[in-house]
Amino acid sequence: MTSRFTELVVDCRDPERLAAFWCAVLDFKVIDRSEGKVEIASWVPTADEVRARQMPPTLLFIQVPEGKTVKNRLHLDVSPIDASTEDEVTRLLGLGATTTDVGQGPDRSWVVMADPEGNEFDVMRTLAARRG
């Protein structure tokens, strides 16, 4: 018997705002929303796909009254697929992310950022094919 990773839940103050941010970062779509909850995924599954559990994990943003107070114990890594790492960092800053220091030190190949509610994530090296 095994388990399957079905969703990553993020506590937040404003699920709509955070879901919109992550949809823009990852090119995800909202697949479900209810009072205080917004779920996003890489595609909108059919009812049959949901019943058969034939879909990748989703991100679920749930409203909580308190704000973030300590460094994340779990974080996402994202890799740009059609731009340089530097260009992606610039794009994410424009979406409302910030760069942050969690003690990573200098000379790292990744950039530590935080989403609009302060949840840390890393921008890794680009997956874009190098030209030239």
pLDDT tens digits for 15-68?
A: 999 999 999 999 999 999 999 999 999 987 777 876 776 678 899 999 999 988
Q: Strand 111-114 and strand 37-41: pairing?
A: unpaired
d(CA 84, CA 130): 9
Residue with tokens 């094919």: 129
pLDDT tens digits for 85-118?
A: 999 999 999 999 999 988 887 788 899 999 999 9
d(CA 21, CA 31): 15
**Fold classification of 7-63 (topology level):** 3.30.720
What residue spans in the chain does CATH classification 3.30.720.120 cover? Answer: 7-63
The DSSP result for 9-69, as a single string, is EEEES-HHHHHHHHHHHHT-EEEEEETTEEEEESS---HHHHHTT-S--EEEEEE-SSPP-
Question: Is pLDDT at 131 greater than 70 in this prediction?
Answer: no
Residue 99, φ and ψ in degrees, nearest 5: -85, 150
For the entire predicted model, the pTM comes to 0.86
